[in-house]
């Protein structure tokens, strides 16, 4: 008799546990997700939808919040990216300062940049961010690239400087000690200069 009661009790506990798991999954995976999505759509729809930027034809050309690779000389180049600008694989390389791979990447970048004596390369042009997808570089890093961009576009350096100054912002307020520029927004503005 006792064994029969124990079997019923165990079955009842399994059913209770299964209902709890199912209820928790519905609340955490469904209701919570829809609630946060709804709040995002109401309060910050541009950001909630990926901060996507389109060209004149309505084609999506990138996200204001996610870095993308620019390698042509007429563009400002972003920070290096450990996941090679793949937003589905964000993260840093986690290389230590003594790792030879970090040195190799820095040497490769230095070879691409026009490093001048007495004009040190800003650190953010050689080091990746923690996510590897940071869309911003310092104004100083962007200004370092002005001569190359101006020469490649056949425009005065002052025109590039003007675009950079218009797009410089301190996103972290008083916590940001240096102005930043969004690489994609700057490159879009540079393309519009030539039209």
pLDDT of residue 59: 92
> Phi and psi at residue 138, in whole multiples of 5°?
-70, 155
> Rounded mean pLDDT of 3-28?
87
CB within 8 A of 63, min separation 6: which ones? 50, 51, 52, 53, 87, 135, 184
pLDDT of residue 194: 67
Q: Give the closest residue to 150 by CA, choosing from 69, 70, 71, 74.
A: 74
pLDDT of residue 4: 67
CB within 8 A of 69, min separation 6: which ones? 78, 81, 84, 85
pLDDT of residue 16: 92
Residue with tokens 């490649």: 152
Confidence bin at 3 (pLDDT 50/70/90): low
The 10s digit of each residue's pLDDT in 84-134 is 888 777 777 777 888 888 888 888 887 777 776 677 888 888 888 777 788
Could you tell me how many helices (H) and strands (E) the chain has, helices first? 8, 4
**What percent of the chain is modeled with pLDDT above 90?**
51
How far apart CA 80 and CA 126 sit, in angstroms, is 6
Q: How is the chain split among helix, strand and coil, in percent rounded to 5?
A: 55, 10, 40
> Phi and psi at residue 39, in whole multiples of 5°?
-60, -45
pTM to 2 decimal places? 0.78
């Amino acid at each position: 008799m006792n064994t029969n009661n124990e079997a019923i009790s165990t079955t009842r506990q399994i059913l209770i546990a299964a209902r709890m798991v199912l209820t928790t999954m519905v609340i955490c995976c469904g209701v919570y997700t829809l609630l946060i999505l709804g709040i995002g759509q109401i309060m910050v729809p541009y950001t909630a939808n990926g901060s996507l930027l389109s060209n004149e034809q309505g084609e999506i050309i990138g996200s204001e919040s996610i870095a993308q690779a620019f390698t042509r000389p007429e563009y400002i180049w972003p920070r290096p990216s450990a996941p090679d600008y793949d937003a589905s694989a964000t993260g840093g390389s986690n290389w230590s300062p003594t790792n030879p791979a970090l040195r190799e990447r820095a040497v490769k970048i230095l070879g691409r940049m026009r490093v001048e004596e007495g004009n040190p390369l800003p650190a953010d042009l050689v080091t990746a961010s923690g996510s590897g997808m940071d869309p911003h570089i310092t104004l100083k890093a962007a200004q370092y690239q002005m001569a190359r961009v101006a020469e490649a576009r056949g425009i005065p350096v002052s025109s590039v400087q003007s675009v950079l100054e218009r797009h410089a912002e301190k996103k972290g307020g008083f916590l940001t000690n240096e102005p930043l520029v969004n690489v994609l927004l700057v490159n879009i503005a540079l393309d519009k200069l030539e039209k």
